[in-house]
Amino acid sequence: MEEKKLEQLAVSLGTPAYVFDTDILKKRIEWTAEILHPAKLCFAVKANPFLLQTMKGSVEHYEVCSPGEFHICVRSGLDMNQIVLSGVNKEYEDVRYAMEQGVKHYTAESKRQYELVCRCARESGATVDLLLRVTSGNQFGMSEADVKELIRSRASCPHVQIRGVQYFSGTQKKNIKKIAAEVEYIEDLIQRLEKEDGFVTQVLEFGPGLGVTYFTKEDPEEDVRLLEAFAELFQKERPYKIVFEMGRFLAASCGYYITRIVDQKRNDAVHVCLVDGGIHHVNYYGQNMAMKTPFLSYFPQHPVEDREDTEWTVYGSLCTVADILLKKLPLKDARVGDYLVFHNIGAYSVTEGIYLFLSRRMPKIYLYSDRDGAGLVRKDLETWTLNTVEE
């Protein structure tokens, strides 16, 4: 987004607020889909559930990992045939409700989950597709032994069609050699499943966890080169459908967080700048106590005096020393009332923040496009009512 337009939004919308540029989002998805064609895209709803309406018609599937996320998808009017019900801790009521709503695609993180999907499908008379998630060594997915056991006994559950495997090992990965090794592993497993167990994979859902650029010392074009290098790993045709599950890589660049300077002082040798936001609203993967500076914009709201830049340490409004956003940020003639806008915040910050800490008000959320301007999709919400004893 152009700086002039971004400043206009900062001044007119009020703070704190998130703005998600849907034009940027659509272009990002189109570019990613073009590079990775003929593979399909699956959007991880947890990355930003406020973008679901915008994504209609742009992705093949939506990965849903909790009952709450599924209710959001129902309210958003998403096609239930595009939902992949995934995640740990699936409960009977949740799976049964999803089937009643028409969800046909599921994953199993364990043998217990597979049996649960089988039970619900049998009781509802539905026939559903399922992917077996293979663990990468963490709490998610199953061992190869468990995967093989379920494949060998799949005839005992005719209502559930095991279509393939799912594999995801982490997020914000930028080492293409590591990603290539993961691709090699899961493809080797697919070949062994066919050779040793007679199972022909029809679908591979692969989460590459591609990293995005957040900080000023990083190359803004790094994620472009990363996607192109990743696409080269899939140049040859596979006999199965490939779906890439993505969240951060698709959504990060469309987001802005607007906050305003509300107080300033000098504590010993440190110039302190306080804003009306904080770490409960801003969360960059890889950031630790403001050791890195993210891409941001500064919009003074007064005639700027010609003076030397002052280095500011920017703190939020939470009563904790951990609420530090920026260290040694050089600003020229910064004053109370000026705006700071954090870039590339379209993924996770809107849902990952510690919003209930200190019972402060939650930010407003806007969707923006050049055609429609800024539209409010969630007003600022008081949280104190959630932190008090119900009468």
Residue-wise pLDDT for 278-322, tens only, equals: 999 999 998 888 899 999 999 999 999 888 999 999 999 999 999
CATH value at residue 305? 2.40.37.10
Domain range for 369: 253-386
Q: Are residues 211 and 308 in the same domain?
A: no
Q: Are residues 130 and 219 in the same domain?
A: yes
Buried b (16+ CB within 10 A) or exposed e, 105-123: bbbbbbeebbebbbbbbee
CATH value at residue 161? 3.20.20.10
pLDDT (0 to 100) of residue 353: 86
Q: Which two tokens stand for residue 151?
A: 């494949």
Give the domain-ending residue among 246, 261, 292: 246
User: Is 73 in contact with 53 (CB distance < 8 Å)?
Assistant: no
Give the domain-ending residue among 185, 217, 246: 246
User: Is 208 in contact with 173 (CB distance < 8 Å)?
Assistant: yes
Give the domain-ending residue among 223, 246, 269: 246
Question: What's the domain count of the chain?
Answer: 2
Q: Are residues 265 and 316 in the same domain?
A: yes
* Cβ neighbour number for residue 284 with a 10 Å cutoff: 22
Q: Are residues 84 and 231 in the same domain?
A: yes
pLDDT (0 to 100) of residue 23: 97
Quick one: residue 2, left, alpha or beta (phi over 0 = left, psi -120 to 50 = alpha)? Answer: beta
pLDDT (0 to 100) of residue 91: 95
Cα dihedral 340, 345, 349, 351, rounded to 10, equals 120
Q: Are residues 240 and 258 in the same domain?
A: no
Q: Are residues 230 and 262 in the same domain?
A: no
Which residue is associated with the tokens 């923040």? 353
Q: Are residues 257 and 232 in the same domain?
A: no
Q: Are residues 341 and 238 in the same domain?
A: no
Q: Are residues 99 and 233 in the same domain?
A: yes
Specify the 3-state DSSP secondary structure of 24. Answer: helix
Q: Kindly state the percentage of the chain with pLDDT values over 70.
A: 100
| Strands (DSSP E) found in 189-323 | 203-207, 241-246, 255-267, 270-275, 296-299, 310-315
In a domain, 30, yes or no: no
pLDDT (0 to 100) of residue 169: 87
In a domain, 71, yes or no: no
Asked if residue 303 has a cis previous peptide bond (ω within 30° of 0), the answer is no
In a domain, 185, yes or no: yes
